[in-house]
Amino acid sequence: MTSLVLVRHGQSQWNLENRFTGFHDVGLTAQGVREAKKAGKLLAKEGIDFDIAFTSYQRRAIKTLWLALEAAEQFHIPVTKDWRLNERHYGALTGLNKQETREKHGDEQVHIWRRSFDVPPPALDMDHEYHPSKDKKYAHIDPSVLPTGESLKMTCARVLPYFEDQVVPFLKANSNVIISAHGNSLRAILKELFDVADKDIPGFEFPTGNPLLIEFEDGTLDIKSAKYLDKKRAKELPEIKGAKTA
């Protein structure tokens, strides 16, 4: 069988502060570091030898990958970074406290921004301090291509072509792959692999620092099984015909 591991970064500072993070580049908390190291130890117990890793341009995902690979004693494998695996861009909500935003705009509106599939948050202006063009990591990218506020649908449209072009060929060649990314970029991949309906995918959560192991029939994307490695912090997984989920 071929293995794909999807791991959301460990707890970040803005996770702790209950702020909309998106493209903003924040680090891990002490708890996030512990989660990443535990993820690596759980992977080591599974005995998976990874061939390649993918991650975003954001330090919380990159550091989670480093710490997990180090704990799994697989620090040597090649790593590819790409901004298209970044978290969903939360637009003008970036940096705002989620509870304060609910108090200002109402629970219903914030729920729509967070959990609808195709309604984006208010977009950032080009001159906003959090616009991606202000960050040197994206200096080589045409600013018109960079997101300024994304729905989950828009995030899928960014993530999935990259996944299909760059990651799927490795899986079909029976390479074991690990992706360290973010709640919404991983939701996009989950949606594709499990064929989840638009209306259902916002409801699936990725716990921080808890590896999701998906096993395929060799040479295919036919799922044999899927499980979170830390069972105490596992979340619900989509059902798929013929697959075993736990």
Report, as residue numbers or ranges, the catalytic residues: 9, 87
Angle between helices 98-105 and 107-115 (to 10 degrees): 120
Q: How far apart are CA 90 and CA 114, in angstroms?
A: 9
**Burial class of 134 by CB neighbour count within 10 A (0 to 12, 13 to 18, 19+):** middle
- The contacts of residue 104 (CB under 8 Å, 6+ apart) are none
Q: How far apart are CA 72 and CA 40, in angstroms?
A: 5
Pair 37, 28: CB distance under 8 Å: no
Relative orientation angle of helices 152-162 and 183-194, to the nearest 10 degrees: 70
Round to whole Å and give the CA distance between 20 and 98: 7
Pairing of strands 177-181, 52-55: parallel
